[in-house]
Structure 1
Amino acid sequence: MEPRRISASPRPCSGRRVVASRKRPRQEAVVSSVRKLQRREISTRRERSFAMNSARERFRNIQLQEEFDTHDPKENSLLLPYMRKRSKIIEIVAARDIVFALSQSGVCAAFSRVTNKRICFLNGSPDEVIRSLFYNKNNESLITVSVYGSENFSALRCKTTPVEYIRRGTPDAGFPLFETESLKWPGFVEFDDVNGKVLTYSAQDSTYKVFDLKNYTLLYSISDKNVQEIKISPGIMLLIYTRASSSIPLKILSIEDGTVLKSFSHLLHRNKKVDFIEQFNEKLLVKQEGENLQILDVRNFQLTEVSRTEFMTPSAFIFLYELQLFLTFRNRSVAVWNFRGELVTSFEDHLLWHPDCNTNNIYITSDQDLIISYCKADSSSSDSSPEENAGSINISNILTGKCLAKIKADDLCKKVDDLCKPKKAWKFQSTMSEALEDITALYYDEERDEIYTGNRQGLVHVWAN
């Protein structure tokens, strides 16, 4: 999964940076990435063509299979009033044969793909509002991050529950995490599957703490009121300090033990807002308002600049650790860049549905060869109202930008006419077109080859061959 930061703000907010690594890299990750790039460059067109054809075949006959509902007035009758109402799905996580769906109101439900029935709700008390989910592959458990009405929804509480217990319908068998930490606003907790770490921030004493994701033991602490932000990258952390008028102090630390690897200051344009500072291995990306993108190699301080007309500030990033590339999202468009500041890929027929670039509607496969997104069914209809028609689920090749497959209501209806009629699935009925409307969350289960989507009605749909 990706480093996922959950803030203690009373209102949920989505992070700007998402890291696309679904599996933990080995120690030789950097070397492996170079070798993968070399293999990709010397591979024959036939091999690459086979991979693309394989992806096309995988998604060619995909259809709507099941429908689950996170809303149950009877089961949720004891919850807070606003949690009893229907609300959109904001997050979907799959663990083996269980699908977890979290609604914006804070209700989380677990569904079995074996029985195709709801197993249980994960809210342990009537005033528990679950804010986010994280599947810990190290111990096959689900971590829930919640706020409680009894604490005025101002402090984060974490709990880990083995997936096996949830499968048995006993989600209360979990135990709390980080109980000694005060995670009140503006505190946060961040889960980093790439490095196998958890980062917490207690605003009460301005202390950052790093825990081991395997057993949740404390590794080290960082207490410094001048630290304004911390960014996590494979093997390292970037500490961003309070800005001076024309520079910003930075430190690079080892993620394993907190050892300072490098300290330096980066020069800034006076009176210009910093749009972002991001760290990717040895590359530092800095962008100020109205200025060029700067890519600094922190090993030798070699600086590369990309014109502000070529690289405009994106609304979100996805770093591709396996490929040594990164994706940017801006105005519903996706692009792939390398760290020489060169545009690698522009995607065809891949106009994102949501203008705010909701990364919950985007999935990058673990091999980082495919991007699955909720898009406009017709890329030429960018000015149409989102309520006018259903969107499509697009599967595209990251390196070529080619659209390999598209799940679109019209195409599905042509294949099987009666699928256009209401299809009963558990309690509710949805047509193909309805299932492709207002998708607010998307997840691809690579083990089962299934796509899960959630919509504004709190429904979860399963798409599979």
Structure 2
Amino acid sequence: MDGKRISASPRPCCGRRVHAKKRPRVDGFVNTVKKLQRREICSKRDRAFSTSNAQERFRNIRLQEEFDTHDPKGHDYLELPFLKKRSKIIEIVAARDIVFALTQSGVCAAFSRETNQRICFLNVSPDEVIRSLFYNKNNDSLITVSVYASDNFSSLKCRTTRIEYIRRGKPDAGFALFESESLKWPGFVEFDDVNGKVLTFSAQDSVYKVFDLKNYTMLYSISDRNVQEIKISPGIMLLIFGRASSHVPLKILSIEDGTVLKSFNHLLHRNKKVDFIEQFNEKLLVKQENENLQILDVRNHDLTEVSRTEFMTPSAFIFLYENQLFLTFRNRTVAVWNFRGELVTSFEDHLLWHPDCNTNNIYITSDQDLIISYCKADSDDSSLEGNAGSINISNILTGKCLAKIRASNCSPKDDCCCCSKKRTYASRIRNTVAEALEDITALFYDEDRNEIYTGNRQGLVHVWSN
């Protein structure tokens, strides 16, 4: 899931739109054919094989390793007292056999899957609080977004470091990004992996700037104090201006050079709050308080409405570019919709653990066929110990649960070192399976290694693999 916005606010909103990763295309004809194939859900070929393959991939996943982000001795160089305390994991990113784990306090640790040892901490400055991570696959580097005590934690600072330098234990070998930008509240930086762009907003002078994610060169800027919000879709940006009493002015720009492609007004119900305005390719989604969802085709102005009783305002979206669908999250449940306003999938046995829909606990595969989530465990699971949940792997197109990692996956007869009934281990694992499945606060799936990484409130990272 890509398309991440980091705000300068000390309390960033947890509800956000997230872009699912778009796979690269090498042939235009294949691209067109596959788009046509996927326009209808039933047209996806080899679904039975894909399903059975997914089930086999996750069938024997077990708890294999444990990493700890807390190291009292290793934190001696840090100045801020709260950085030296144990803190929960809020974000996990994996790249090139390295697992990065970020804690809520602002400490980020890098671990090697080759040696299963911690490589280094990424906090270069003693007063640095890292807020978020982004892996830039364009140049094989990790971008950290931080605030600093010396700046009273008031503005965002970005730094990029090659993965190879981190592998050598040299996190200070990177360099600063966007130094000319004043990213104080309500400024932000947004990384868009789908288009290969970075969007910054400098609140000081109300200027938006678009940078190339490959080499960080500035492409163009947008200076208009009437712009209230910018939403990014494949190839385009939607500019949302301050609303009038009965409409909201909108502009669609080319993401590549900022050229205005279309300007129009969208009619609104007077005196009704706008819940959201979202753009997905040629489709505009608008929802007002206690009103129907409107899906507008901006090319021909065809309007589709979905009853407010069928579509209630979600807390977050995930747009699936490969399948021309979008996921909504509301009250711990996930649903899949198409742009005709039809409910495509309701997931079975997929009640999310966290009510606030923390998207760091959800992973969408690059094929956009599977969703991996931290869920409530079965109430009739007799093996439950404490407050353990489960990691569910479900098919997005059918809603079927294909596999589940839970405490009962390991029985007392298992020879693996992670059995939930054992307390002594040959490895460094201190938690039982049930304990590792308690209070998971971050989740990431490494598709190349077929490994799931989870982090919990104790600052521990657990590796689940075959």
TM-score bin, normalised by smaller chain: over 0.9
Q: Give the secondary structure class of the aligned counterpart of 1:244.
A: coil
Please report how far the alpha carbon of residue 78 of structure 1 lies from its aligned counterpart in structure 2 after TM superposition: 3.1
Q: Is 418-427 or 175-184 further displaced after alignment? A: 418-427
Aligned mates of 1:35, 1:167 — CA distance in 2: 43
Letter in 2 for 1:58: R
Report the CA distance shift for 1:213/1:9 in structure 2 as closer, same or farther (over 3 A).
same
Residue matched to 1:77? 76
Report the CA distance shift for 1:300/1:43 in structure 2 as closer, same or farther (over 3 A).
closer
Report the CA distance shift for 1:43/1:246 in structure 2 as closer, same or farther (over 3 A).
closer
Aligned mates of 1:22, 1:362 — CA distance in 2: 17
Contact kept, 8 Å, 1:25 with 1:194, in 2: the verdict is no
Report the CA distance shift for 1:379/1:283 in structure 2 as closer, same or farther (over 3 A).
farther
User: What does residue range 275-424 of structure 1 map to in structure 2 within 5 Å?
Assistant: 275-378=275-378, 388-413=386-411, 416=414, 419-420=419-420, 421-422=422-423, 424=425
Residue matched to 1:435? 436
Cα deviations across residues 82-104 of structure 1 (Å, max 9, x unaligned)? Answer: 11111110000000110000000
Q: Give the secondary structure class of the aligned counterpart of 2:165.
A: helix
Residue matched to 1:154? 154
Q: Is 299-308 or 21-30 further displaced after alignment? A: 21-30
The RMSD of aligned alpha carbons is: 2.0
Cα deviations across residues 158-208 of structure 1 (Å, max 9, x unaligned)? Answer: 000000000000000000000000000000000000000000000000000
Contact kept, 8 Å, 2:304 with 2:340, in 1: the verdict is yes
Please report how far the alpha carbon of residue 427 of structure 1 lies from its aligned counterpart in structure 2 after TM superposition: 5.5
Aligned mates of 1:255, 1:128 — CA distance in 2: 33
Cα deviations across residues 5-30 of structure 1 (Å, max 9, x unaligned)? Answer: 00011234334111111545669597
Contact kept, 8 Å, 1:292 with 1:311, in 2: the verdict is yes
Q: Give the ranges of 4+ consecutive aligned residues of structure 1 lying more than 4 Å apart after TM superposition.
A: 24-30, 423-428
Cα deviations across residues 250-284 of structure 1 (Å, max 9, x unaligned)? Answer: 00000000000000010001111100000000000
Letter in 2 for 1:319: F
TM-score (norm 1): 0.95
Report the CA distance shift for 1:38/1:307 in structure 2 as closer, same or farther (over 3 A).
closer
Aligned mates of 1:220, 1:333 — CA distance in 2: 40
Please report how far the alpha carbon of residue 344 of structure 1 lies from its aligned counterpart in structure 2 after TM superposition: 0.2
Aligned mates of 1:20, 1:441 — CA distance in 2: 17
Residue matched to 1:31? 32
Report the CA distance shift for 1:151/1:26 in structure 2 as closer, same or farther (over 3 A).
farther
Please report how far the alpha carbon of residue 51 of structure 1 lies from its aligned counterpart in structure 2 after TM superposition: 1.2
Aligned mates of 1:257, 1:157 — CA distance in 2: 25
User: What does residue range 97-246 of structure 1 map to in structure 2 within 5 Å?
Assistant: 97-246=97-246
Residue matched to 1:50? 49
Letter in 2 for 1:218: M
Please report how far the alpha carbon of residue 416 of structure 1 lies from its aligned counterpart in structure 2 after TM superposition: 1.5
Letter in 2 for 1:436: L
Residue matched to 2:96? 96
Please report how far the alpha carbon of residue 413 of structure 1 lies from its aligned counterpart in structure 2 after TM superposition: 2.9
Aligned mates of 1:170, 1:388 — CA distance in 2: 40
Aligned mates of 1:67, 1:4 — CA distance in 2: 27
Q: Give the secondary structure class of the aligned counterpart of 1:433.
A: helix
User: What does residue range 249-264 of structure 1 map to in structure 2 within 5 Å?
Assistant: 249-264=249-264
Aligned mates of 2:301, 2:399 — CA distance in 1: 32
Please report how far the alpha carbon of residue 39 of structure 1 lies from its aligned counterpart in structure 2 after TM superposition: 8.9
Cα deviations across residues 387-420 of structure 1 (Å, max 9, x unaligned)? Answer: 9520000000000000000001012235627622
Aligned mates of 2:426, 2:374 — CA distance in 1: 22
Aligned mates of 2:265, 2:235 — CA distance in 1: 21
Contact kept, 8 Å, 2:21 with 2:366, in 1: the verdict is yes
Aligned mates of 2:386, 2:5 — CA distance in 1: 34
Aligned residues: 459
Contact kept, 8 Å, 2:65 with 2:429, in 1: the verdict is no
Residue matched to 1:451? 452
Please report how far the alpha carbon of residue 378 of structure 1 lies from its aligned counterpart in structure 2 after TM superposition: 1.2
Please report how far the alpha carbon of residue 34 of structure 1 lies from its aligned counterpart in structure 2 after TM superposition: 1.7
Report the CA distance shift for 1:338/1:379 in structure 2 as closer, same or farther (over 3 A).
farther
Q: Give the secondary structure class of the aligned counterpart of 2:21.
A: coil
Please report how far the alpha carbon of residue 357 of structure 1 lies from its aligned counterpart in structure 2 after TM superposition: 0.9
Gaps of 5+ in 1: none
The sequence identity of aligned pairs, in percent, is 78
Contact kept, 8 Å, 1:103 with 1:458, in 2: the verdict is yes
Report the CA distance shift for 1:228/1:39 in structure 2 as closer, same or farther (over 3 A).
closer
Q: Give the secondary structure class of the aligned counterpart of 1:31.
A: helix
Aligned mates of 2:406, 2:76 — CA distance in 1: 37
Aligned mates of 1:344, 1:360 — CA distance in 2: 24
Letter in 2 for 1:68: F
TM-score (norm 2): 0.95
Report the CA distance shift for 1:39/1:160 in structure 2 as closer, same or farther (over 3 A).
same
Aligned mates of 1:415, 1:305 — CA distance in 2: 56
Contact kept, 8 Å, 1:292 with 1:306, in 2: the verdict is yes
Q: Give the secondary structure class of the aligned counterpart of 1:50.
A: helix
